[in-house]
Amino acid sequence: MSQMMPLINTVTAFLALMIVGYLAVKRGMVDDDFAKKLSKLLFNVLMPCFVITSMQYEFTPEILLQSVWLLLISATMTAVGFAIGWLFCKLTRIDGYFKRIITSAMAFPNFSFMGFPVAYAVFGELGLFYAVIISIPLLMTAQSIGNVILNPNGNFGWKKVLNPPFIAALLGFTLFVSPIKLPGAIYTSLELIGRPTIPISMILVGLLLANAPLKSIFREWRYFAVTAIRLILFPLLVFFVLRAFGFEGVMLGVPVIIAMMPAAAKIIVAAANFGGDTVKAAQITMVTTLLSVLTIPIMVWILGL
């Protein structure tokens, strides 16, 4: 309960920053090209710096062992997300590009832009460190298999796996397990560059959501069914399975927090880059993101994280 106010403050700030981005588009301050360039800057520069500095944590054998467990948990969560997405589309007879969007929304949560600060608000620096560890398998699959799913003509390539945030995570983990630490000047520089990652990312989400038609959202019940699974049922599944295996505390809480995040905004960017249905991609992202502002603190409270 002591973490509830920082958490509520964090999700309220999320909403405020998204509104800033949304209004910037609606008032003509920026255009679609600006959002694309900002996304590239965020992904290729700011986020890698943020990841490296977030992993500057004191080494212990216990944390190393728990990190290995979290990598396995994250990989399993991603595979289960794919399976749930495929099954949902089969049961509801979704096909075409909409099937690609739904499958991606189930498999890829907004683990970095929203998951990192929520994990930090609830569990502090160790929670942030573990959230970054969990992101490693997600970064691998989102930029490789995820791009193949969202690109009808795409092929798998190992070069897509070696993206800047993933390389930064590997570098950060290497520094964690080694006696080598970043010199003060380098750490400060990377920390300053990476510090705007969270606020800029949430503004970017607002920019991307600004072009989502609002009226047609309420005519598609499957958006809300996906949202219920993504924000409530899936994290509950993760919670009860991990608890049954004996996980508790931060080892239980951080995977559940990542599991309760909304669909990744990357889905919109990928759909736009690959000529997919950006309207549906933006709409499913909008519904899950806006409702997550309510569900995240409620779920954390109910589950006693």
Quick one: tokens of 161?
Answer: 């796996």
> CB-based contacts of 8: which residues, under 8 Å, 6+ apart?
297
Distance CA 98, CA 96 (A): 5
Quick one: tokens of 221?
Answer: 């019940």
pLDDT in tens, the chain (305 residues): 456 777 888 888 888 998 999 999 888 898 878 888 888 899 889 999 999 998 888 888 999 999 999 999 999 999 999 999 999 999 998 888 889 899 999 999 988 878 888 898 889 889 999 999 999 888 888 777 777 788 777 665 566 677 888 889 889 989 988 888 888 899 999 999 998 988 998 898 888 888 777 777 877 888 899 999 999 999 999 999 999 999 999 999 999 999 999 998 888 888 877 777 888 888 898 899 989 989 999 999 888 87
CATH of the domain at 66: 1.20.1530.20
Contact in structure between 164 and 43 (CB atoms under 8 Å): yes
Quick one: tokens of 172?
Answer: 């950060």
Contact in structure between 7 and 122 (CB atoms under 8 Å): yes
* Partners of residue 263 on adjacent β-strands: 109
Is 290 in a helix, a strand, or coil?
helix
User: Is residue 164 exposed (0-12), middle (13-18) or buried (19+ Cβ within 10 Å)?
Assistant: middle
Distance CA 232, CA 235 (A): 6
Distance CA 9, CA 297 (A): 10
Alpha carbon of 139 to those of 50, 98, 104, 169: distances in Å?
A: 14, 22, 13, 9
Distance CA 100, CA 274 (A): 12
Distance CA 98, CA 47 (A): 29
Determine the structural domain holding residue 102 and report its residue range. 4-303
Whole-model pTM: value is 0.89
Tens-place pLDDT, residues 110-148: 888 788 888 988 898 899 999 999 998 888 887 777 777
Q: How many domains does the chain have?
A: 1
